[in-house]
Chains A and B, each alone.
Chain A
Amino acid sequence: MVLAGVAVTAGPGVSFDSYVRAWSAGLLRLAWLITRDWEDARDAVQDAFDSLYPRWSRLPEGDRFEPYVSRCVVNACLAVIRRRRADPVPDTLVLAEAPVTGDAADQVVEADRLWRLCGQLPSVQRAAVVLRFYRDLSFAEVAEVLGCREVTARSHLHRAVAAMRRQMEEANTDE
């Protein structure tokens, strides 16, 4: 499994201390993409680590370790969203500039629009989209992290992408 472009080799063999220091920033970004709020993201990752710490030495090993941690974080995100009961939150984000080519202005506008449409998805669909397109997970891996069957994960993604595509087309038509 790949985390933010780097192969993950961590597991229970890695100390809790080392893992938190090395990977919490990546998990915070993942949680932020799902919760769309940095404070909520931090709460979620902290809740996840709170639950993981007492059983750190007994966590699954090898390839199952990273999905397990991700699943805890995603579940914690969904729990935080459920608690705040206002989803999605108003999106006041101004994205950092990224290098673009071609018609730069159009691409930035399009990326901003997609970002916001993703933020308006139901939380589980949003989590599926983030895992699939940000974390580059396969359908099976998305299902494992979400704790559902692969067909369910595919359905979440299918619905999410279809909704985003439809709204993009509507927005383009309005213009």
Chain B
Amino acid sequence: MSEFEDKIRDSLRRADSEIIPVAPLDPNEIASRAPGRAPRVGVARAWLAVAAAIVLVTGAGFGAWSWLGRGSTVPAAPAPVPQNSVEIDVFSGRENPRVNLDAAVTGQLYAMLSDQEAAGPLKPAALPEQGLGFRGFILIPADTSLPVLRILSTAVYVKGSGPYLRLDDPNEHFYTRVYDAIRPLIGEDVRGALPEPNPKIPNVTATIPPAIGSTAIWVLKNPKNVTKTSTRLELEVTRAECSGGKTGTILPPEVSFGPSGIVIRAAAEPLGDGSQSCPGNDSVTVTVMLPEPVGDRPLIDAACLEGSAVRTSFCADGAARWKP
């Protein structure tokens, strides 16, 4: 750990000497407020007694006595293990289908949400008009401390205690993950009512870790080969920071389509601890498959729009790497 990191640790450790100015937590209060099993058992037994009394009054006889005796000694059924579930909000006039969602996929979605939150705040927004047809996947997490999500094709709405918060998801990362996970679990009629997800964007022929990391800049490998009809781009990606001459692993580029440009952000896998020498880093070729042709839009390197590389020589000629 570096000296600077030691200083961070020391600054945080001083919190240990802070006097806690709020009331301590009371386990009895938590237990009494939570929907625990003990109160439920009591309620169940009360209903059982009422049912038994009715049977007795109607003359069910000895059999009822036996039933009552058995019932009173049957242990309460164990509470079901909470599951992450997805309600597919698609039908009107009949119940929406609901399926369980794999815990790993759920964790991935909330991790993505956290990543997005780290990049910038979610924006308060009203839900879109709730018309006929698909109105979203409603993800209800087993962990009640997590917010409920309504996942549409290109946006995610986060349900907190206040208004919804909206996260734009133009590349359908959230929708596609849920769709792929629940597809085998739903019937043909439901599947037919769902929007088809876009092809996975980007389709990168490189090792694909999560789409965040250290700044990297890119140029087109063969800019002369790019035309308005191109859907396949070959990028030469270079890590911006000192890295001993090696760019290393490239994370999956993020692609954002706009009417006036296609913005591509490439990033490199974060380096571990330790200082690095600073010769120029090599470049790594990454292939990006676009779901639609380039058209009349310039190809723009996001690293030259914001961040640490903007004022470097990498971006001296501007952010556009190709213009029609």
Contacts and interface: CB of A to CB of B under 8 A. Distances in A.
Contacts of A4: 16
Nearest to B163: A85
Contacts of B260: none
Interface in B137-174: 143-147, 158, 160-162, 165
Contacts of B37: 54
B111 A152 contact: yes
A96 B143 CA distance: 35
A46 B23 CA distance: 11
Contacts of B14: 95-96, 98, 111, 115
B272 interface: yes
A41 B7 contact: no
A16 interface: yes
B111 to A, nearest CB: 4
Interface stretch (B24-32, B58-66, B196-204, B286-294): B24-32
Contacts of B184: none
A3 B98 CA distance: 40
B79 interface: yes
Nearest to A87: B121
Contact of A33 (B12, B24, B161): B12
A70 interface: no
Interface string A88-111: 000000011110000000000011
Nearest to A18: B27
B95 interface: no
Contact of B270 (A87, A111, A151): A151
B30 A75 contact: no
A174 B26 CA distance: 48
A85 B161 CA distance: 11
Given A54-B79, A82-B147, A146-B111, A115 B12 contact: yes
A83 B160 contact: yes
A82 B210 contact: no
A149 B121 CA distance: 22
B74 interface: no
Contact of A83 (B144, B162, B212): B162
Interface string A134-175: 101000000000111101101110110100110010000000
Contacts of A111: 7, 10-11, 14
A88 B305 CA distance: 26
A65 interface: no
A39 B107 CA distance: 27
A164 B147 contact: no
B11 A83 contact: no
B89 to A, nearest CB: 22
A165 B4 contact: yes
Contacts of B8: 114, 118, 129, 133, 161, 164
B82 interface: yes
A134 B271 contact: no
B313 interface: no
Contacts of B272: 154
B145 to A, nearest CB: 4
B122 interface: yes
A149 B108 CA distance: 9
Contacts of B212: 152, 155
A85 B165 CA distance: 10
A148 B10 CA distance: 26
A158 B18 CA distance: 28
A133 B5 contact: yes
Interface string A65-91: 000000010011011001101010000
Contact of A50 (B12, B33, B118): B33
B117 A152 contact: no
B301 interface: no
12 contacts: A29-B20, A54-B35, A83-B161, A115-B12, A130-B12, A133-B8, A151-B209, A151-B269, A152-B210, A161-B8, A165-B4, A168-B4
Interface of B: 4-5, 7-28, 30-31, 33-37, 79, 81-82, 107, 110-111, 114-115, 117-119, 121-122, 124, 143-147, 158, 160-162, 165, 209-210, 212-214, 269-272
Closest 5 CB pairs of A and B: A20-B27, A114-B11, A148-B111, A122-B118, A111-B11
Given A20-B25, A55-B81, 6 more contacts: A16-B27, A17-B28, A28-B20, A53-B30, A148-B115, A164-B4
